[in-house]
Every structure is written in structure tokens, then in C-alpha cells.
Amino acid sequence: FCTLCLQECLKPKKPVCGVCRSTLSPGSRALDLEKQIETTETTCNGCNKKMYLSKMRSHAASCSKYQNYIMEGVKAVTKEPLHNTRNFPNRFTFPCPYCSEKNFDQEGLVEHCKTLHSMDAKQVVCPICASMPWGDPNYRSANFMEHLQRRHRFSYDTFVDYDADEDDMMAQVLMRSLRDK
């Protein structure tokens, strides 16, 4: 994670995991892992220079050949942007399905519903799921609060490229994994 994203996850009011957004409990440093990172050697995919994993991040930031290598991969999986953006659903802000409040981000909607609507048994459509390519805008969840807590503990944006074709992405991943050996 970059520093800004990690700091966001570690806010004092409620530190959460950067991937699944579960609450973090205090822990200790993984000294064995730190030692392994300090002593494991790797090769830069751009310039083929050997170095320890602990030095790779700073090297990658200044290695133009590595940055070209990354851009090749990005170009391989990036499609031409579509010119008509009006047909794209809003996947960043959502209305509350129980009341008239709008413009919640995913985490805000979950918190709002937990705080104000936790006892409401009315069957509603999940606005987050309805905005997804696979979502059904007519499906009413039998237990919306349970659905929110199980299905929306993390943001889809972390894991999903909505515009990429799944078969193309899989082919690119396989090609890069063979090339990276």
C-alpha cells in the first residue's frame, strides 16, 4: 500500500485492514519477515540488476527500464476508453435504499444503514450491487443488513477492472507470469 492509503486504513478511530476492511487489533512487528525481505535477492524485470527485496521499491521508482516494463503491461490490458460516458453507472456514491439520503460512498452507506436502519426489515435493492455489471437492479435482499456486512466489507474497486474482458485479462496474466519466471 502507498503511505496515504495505509494511513487512511490506520485512522485512530477505527483501524481496518486495507483489503477486507476488518477491524485491526494491535500486533507486533513480523521481524522474521523483515529479515527475509532484507536477505532475499531478486532481479529487476527492467534492467536485470540483482538486489535485495528491501531495495526493490526505491530502485523501481528510479529505473526507467522497469517503468517501461510496467507500462507495457498496462497497455496490454487497457482498452480504448469509450467516448460516451453518460451510459456508465455511478459506482462511487450511492443512495440509502431506506430513506432519501444520497451520495454515500460504500463505507458511508454501510455505516449509515448500521446506525439508522439496523432494525428495518423491509426488503430493499442494494444500490451498490445494482450498479455493478453483474448486479440485478430488481433483486430485493431478504436481509439487507446481513448482505451489507458480508458482501460489502471491502471495495470492489480494489479488485475489479469493470472495463476489462475477463478472458483477455486471464490471457495477459498467464503471459506475464510466464515472462516473469
pLDDT, one tens digit per residue, over 56-103 is 988 988 898 988 888 887 777 766 555 555 566 777 889 999 997 999
Please give the pLDDT value at position 16: 73
Alpha-carbon gap, residue 13 to 11, rounded angstroms: 6
Please give the pLDDT value at position 51: 94
pLDDT > 70: what percent of the chain?
81
pLDDT, one tens digit per residue, over 1-26 is 677 777 776 665 667 776 777 777 77
The domain spans of the chain are 33-76, 92-159
